[in-house]
Structure 1
Amino acid sequence: MKRHNAAFSNTTSSLEAGAIPISESQDVQIKTLAPVKAEADHEIKLTGAFNVRDLGGFVTRDGHRIKDHALLRSARLNQLTKHDVDILIHEYNVGIDFDLRRPQEVAAQPDVKMPGVQYINDSVDTDESFHYQINHRNNRQHYRSYITNQRARTAYHDLFMALLKTDGKAVLWHCASGKDRTGLGGALIMYVLGVDMQTIFSDYVASNDFLRAHNQKRLALMKKAGATEAELATARIDGGVDRSYLESAFDEIAREFGSIDQYLVDGLKISRRQQRKLRKKYLI
């Protein structure tokens, strides 16, 4: 545990200290820092889906802003209503539905088809990495597998390629609850766009707030069905995230690649030129 904390501390301190200054990696001029959008204002309220958010409005370290209605994250989309679909297509201009779940999850709860929206299923997990006893320690280890697992690297590479290739349409990426696989994807995208680490972590743990009502209903149903205290405790862990999970992923990146910048280039095969294109495409 000490090695984990030290490695993450070195990673974040070098990022915050500007060892690789954002201004050197972005072909943009420094702007006056715009007011920060409240976390709650990023939510997209839908009837048949939860933990749906728009990254638009987050401000980068050099004062640029992520475009609205361009980068969306969500939990599963298997219960979208017709009105939900209309909102995503007509208000948020969704063009790609990028599903990070395993094929078995997709088969059990397939996304509602959205007219004119390209559906991509690209699993982060393998069967071997997905099944484990849920507790904080194992969850941290599971996040490390997102970095070491080639299947995960391929999925996140493909997600970035979808962001590059979409032509004026928003990309929505999601998993089951929109917090783990989706959360790491969101953190990496925000990092590439130049958002500071404090904001990245704040957005990551905000899933606990956006999932609260959903989890309360789940726990109430479990209690009614006679669930034990141990089962309820496991469900509480399963229903949320902990900062240490994302820290573990970044620590694994530091251990294997030395930095997030090198992981993006060598691990995910996202070139620095492609990262510049992403910043030009998604920042204002």
Structure 2
Amino acid sequence: MQELPTGDSLGLSIGLHAAHNLRDIGGYLTADGRRVRRNLVYRSDVLNPLNNEDLRKVGQLGLKRDYDLRTTDEISRQPDQIPSGVTYVHIDILADANSIAPAQLMALLRDPPKANVELGSGRIEAMFADAYRKFVSLPSARRGYLKLFEAIADAAALPGLYHCTTGKDRAGWATAALLGLLGVPADTIMQDYLRTNDYILPYYAAQIDKFAAQGGNREIVIAILGVQPPYLEAALAEMNALYGGFDDYFDKALGLNQVSRERLRHLLLE
């Protein structure tokens, strides 16, 4: 039997020309010594633009479903490109949100002086922390994550992939929550979460440099395009304050019953 990779070899991008943050969430050890199965659940950034080689590699994953967690506006600008035979499922996590939209943030990046005023002095970091708290409490987020995890609990729907635009926030919380339910330790969850920076920030390096060259505060654009521990910590604190932990979050916030939670563990752990 082939030995599974461990440590830094886990959570790696599959190496596409685009969708740089497409990663298998499997391989991680749980606190009780089990391991998350590989080749069943993938997280990603937007599946556009994919070239022919990208599509070939994605096709090799054998996906049954593609869960798109973005808003309708995001989808209209960059619709997914998926191999034939993959079922597309739209789940708008932020449908009920009234905070600044991702598109508005990207527009501000085209005006560095204005971004400095509106997003500097810790404002953007506070906005992201608030957004992460909403991943836990926002009604559309609770409905959406329930739909996602109910689907993943169906063996006939696996392998599956979920994604947002950069694969770091909405998809980041989905991954943290799922790994937490499976019993993966907190430090491992954070390690997987922060690995996004290894793939997203280099991809946007030219945009970051341009923003800084035009007078923008480099830390602002990095805070928008990357991830930081306080973001995920805000969601975890909200979850613990409202529900007490991952199992009760899945039960009370999402309404995923015990049978489905145990089915997730049975399907995704070995």
Shared fold (TM-score greater than 0.5)?
yes
Shift of residue 221, structure 1, vs aligned partner: 4.3
Look up the match of 1:4. none
Q: Any idea what SS the aligned residue of 2:64 has?
A: strand
Is the aligned partner of 1:107 residue 2:76? yes
TM-score (norm 1): 0.81
**Partners in 2 of 1:221 and 1:136 — Cα distance?**
21
Asked if 2 retains the 8 angstrom alpha-carbon contact of 1:143 and 1:249, the reply is yes
Corresponding residue for 1:237?
223
Indicate how the Cα distance of structure 1 residues 40 and 216 shifts in structure 2: closer, same or farther if over 3 A, else same.
farther
Q: Letter of the aligned partner of 1:55 in structure 2? A: I
Aligned residue type for 2:30: T
Please state how far the C-alpha of 1:194 moved relative to its aligned partner.
1.5
Aligned residues: 247
Amino acid in structure 2 at the alignment position of 1:45? G
Q: Offset of 1:262 from its aligned partner? A: 1.2
Shift of 1:166: 4.3
Equivalent in the alignment of 2:154: 165
Find the counterpart in structure 2 of residue 249 from structure 1.
235
Equivalent residues of 1:39, 1:206 under 8 A apart: no
TM-score, normalization: structure 2?
0.85
Partner residue, 2:173: 184
Matched, 1:61 2:31: yes
SS of equivalent residue, structure 1 residue 167: helix
**Aligned residue number for residue 43 of structure 1:** 13
Q: Determine the structure 2 residue equivalent to 1:228.
A: 215
Task: Supply the distance in 2 between the matched residues of 1:129 and 1:121 (Cα, whole angstroms).
Answer: 21
Q: Does 1:260 find its partner at 2:229?
A: no
Residue 116 of structure 1, aligned match among 48, 61, 85: 85
Letter aligned with residue 195 of structure 2 = A
Deviates more, 1:257-266 or 1:139-148: 257-266
- Give unmatched runs, 5+ long, in structure 2: 106-117
Which residue of structure 2 aligns with residue 218 of structure 1? Answer: 207
The question of whether the paired residues in 1 share the 8 Å contact of 2:196 and 2:227 is answered with yes
Q: 1:185 Cα deviation (Å)? A: 0.2
Give % identity: 29
Q: What displacement does 1:40 show?
A: 5.6
Task: Name the CA distance, whole Å, in 2 between partners of 1:168 and 1:159.
Answer: 11
- Distance in 1 (alpha carbons) for counterparts of 2:58 and 2:156: 16
Equivalent residue, structure 1, for 2:59: 89
Deviations, residues 100-152 of structure 1 (Å, cap 9, x unaligned): 10010000111113200011110111351343765111111111111111001
AA at the equivalent of 1:204:
Y
What residue identity is the alignment partner of 2:204? N
Contact persistence 1:74–1:175 (CA under 8 A): yes
How many Å apart are 1:84 and its aligned residue? 1.4
Give the partner amino acid of 1:111: D
Aligned to 1:282: 268
Which shifted more, 77-86 or 142-151?
77-86
Contact 1:157 1:268 in 2 (8 A): yes
What is the alpha-carbon distance in structure 2 between the residues aligned to residue 261 and residue 280 of structure 1?
Answer: 15
1:269 aligns with 2:258: no
| Structure 1 counterpart of 2:50, one-letter code | L
Amino acid at match of 1:95: K
